[in-house]
Amino acid sequence: LAKTTQPISMDSYEGQEVNITCSHNNIATNDYITWYQQFPSQGPRFIIQGYKTKVTNEVASLFIPADRKSSTLSLPRVSLSDTAVYYCLVGEASGTYKYIFGTGTRLKVLA
Amino acid sequence: ETGVTQSPTHLIKTRGQQVTLRCSSQSGHNTVSWYQQALGQGPQFIFQYYREEENGRGNFPPRFSGLQFPNYSSELNVNALELDDSALYLCASSSGQGVRVYNSPLHFGNGTRLTVT
């Protein structure tokens, strides 16, 4: 059964780079890793997705090692508005579709 | 482009009752999935529908059921409500299907907050 593990919480200061790691030991061969951001009383919002190596977009970078058993979301120069819960998501290739969210990392950005 | 909308936003029900939650998918999306999110927890996958058929299910009992309509809108039905069903219920739509279905980003609504008393 696919399972993901993330740190429960992290604190950072404005302007710093934040790295959040997710472990997914049983990730399926064809599966991508996707990260979402969630604010209170809102649905999760897509941040970035990748399969291997490094992916970068306008808000974040995603690093995935060759064995793909973990991934690291990197948020450059965080601001107060980045205070949120961050989830990694993988799928489970067991014949039918099943999404597995991580436990979530509560990021608090301090002034 | 219209995003994912869910209704109602809040709902209070009594234990043993039945509830129906509704979701309108984002334009152009043909796949919908539902999640239960208890306070302080991550979303838990309930099931997914593609072309009006369920093609994936999490560890939820049969009293959680759903429908997807030809216009790709969807319903989540929960029978015999229990106190532990109190949660935020999220709907997400995505495009595409097939081997790489997990590679289509999910677009979430803001959920329905269900309270069972």
pLDDT at position A9 is 96
- Which SS3 state, helix, strand or coil, does residue B23 take? strand
Cβ contact (<8 Å) for B33 and A101? no
Residue B100, chain A, CB below 8 Å: the answer is: yes
The pair of structure tokens assigned to B86 is 């109190």
SS3 B74: strand
Which residue carries 């949120």 as its tokens? A84
Confidence category of residue A102, pLDDT binned at 50, 70, 90: confident
- Structure-token pair, residue A29: 């061969």
Name the residue with tokens 């649905």.
A43
Rg over CA atoms, chain B: 13
| pLDDT at residue B116 in the model | 98
* Chain A residues 60-99 with a CB less than 8 Å from chain B: 87, 89-91, 96-99
| pLDDT (0 to 100) of residue B97 | 61
Q: Would an 8 Å CB–CB cutoff place B90 in contact with chain A?
A: yes
Q: What is the pLDDT along chain B (117 residues), one digit of tens a residue?
A: 569 999 999 999 999 999 999 999 988 888 899 999 999 899 999 999 988 889 889 999 999 999 999 988 999 999 999 999 999 999 999 886 654 456 788 999 999 999 999
